[in-house]
Amino acid sequence: MDIIECIHTRRSVRKFLDIPVEWDKIAQIISAGRAAPSAGNLQNYRFIVVEDEDMRKQIADACLQQQWIGKAPAILLVVDVPDLQKRHYGLRGEKLYSIQNCAAVIENMLLTAHALGLGACWVGAFEEEMLLRILKITGTARPQAVIPIGYPNETPPEPPRAELYSQVFIETYGNRIRDLDATISRYSGVWEREAKAGKKYVEKKAAKLHERIKPALIRLREKIKKKFKKKESVTN
C-alpha cells in the first residue's frame, strides 16, 4: 500500500492471533522508528523488545490491568532519554523536544507495523514506577509508550473524525472559514459537497412536484378504474 492509504487505514488493534511476530519484521518496525526526525538529531530514544510471557503479563498489569496487552505476541517499548535534549536545549528540550521526538518515532512504528500486515496500539496509560522496575530502566530514562504488536484478530472500524473546517484555521488561530475545501483547493471535497446538495435539492423539488400532481394522479387513476369496470360489464 502507498503511504496515504497506510495512514488512513491504520487502526488501533487490541486483539491478536496467537502467532509469533518474525524478528525481521520487528527489526523493520524499529528501523522505521529510528528514521523519524529528532531535534538536533540527538536521537533521545531507546527500544525494548519483550516476548517473554511472564514479562508481558507484568507489563499488562502495569498498564492499569489492561490484560489484552499481555496477549500480544510481542511488546515494543519506546524509552525517552531526556538528558540528551536537556544538555543542548535546556528545559524546553527536556519537557517538549524529547517527547515530540519519541512521538514521531512511535507513529513511524505504528504505520510500519500496519504496512507489514501487523496490528499495533499506542498505549500511554501505565504506572511508570512499575514499568521502571519491571524493565530495569535506570537513570532519568522514562518509558513513553507501550506498543503491543501481533497479527490482528479484529478489523476495527474507522473512527469518527471532526469536520475539517472546525479544526483548521487560516492565517490566525480561530479564523475559521466555512468553505475550507475551496480555500485550500481541495476540489474533490467541494464536488462531493455540491453533489450531495444537488441531490438533496432534486429530491426536495421532486417531493414538492409529487404533492402538487398527487390529486390529478388520483383522479386519473379513478377514471382508469371506471373505464376498466365498464369494459368488464360489457364483456360479461
Cα–Cα distance list, 17 to 57, 94, 116, 118 (Å):
16, 38, 15, 10
- Residue 162, pLDDT score: 87
- For 12-39, the pLDDT digits (tens) are 999 999 999 999 999 999 999 999 999 9
Mean pLDDT computed over 79-105: 97
Identify whether residues 20 and 105 lie together within a single domain.
yes
Instruction: For residue 168, tell me if it sits in a domain.
Output: no
Q: How many domains does the chain have?
A: 2
Instruction: Flag whether pLDDT at 2 surpasses 80.
Output: yes
pLDDT for the residue numbered 165: 74
Q: Print the domain residue range for 85.
A: 3-150
pLDDT score, position 216: 78
Percent of the chain with pLDDT over 90: 67
13: CB partners within 8 A, 6+ apart: 119, 120, 121, 150, 152, 154, 156
Is the same domain home to 29 and 109?
Answer: yes
Q: Long-range contacts of range 59-65, CB-CB < 8 Å, 24 or more positions apart?
A: 59/126, 59/131, 59/134, 59/135, 59/146, 61/130, 62/126, 62/127, 62/130, 62/131, 62/134, 63/123, 63/125, 63/126, 63/127, 63/146, 64/125, 64/126, 64/127
pLDDT tens-digit series, residues 133-179: 999 999 999 999 999 999 999 999 999 988 877 888 888 898 877 66
Q: Which helix (H) or strand (E) holds 156?
A: none
120 and 214 inside one domain: no
Which residue has better confidence, 81 or 210?
81
DSSP 152: B
Within this chain, do residues 53 and 117 fall inside the same structural domain, yes or no?
yes
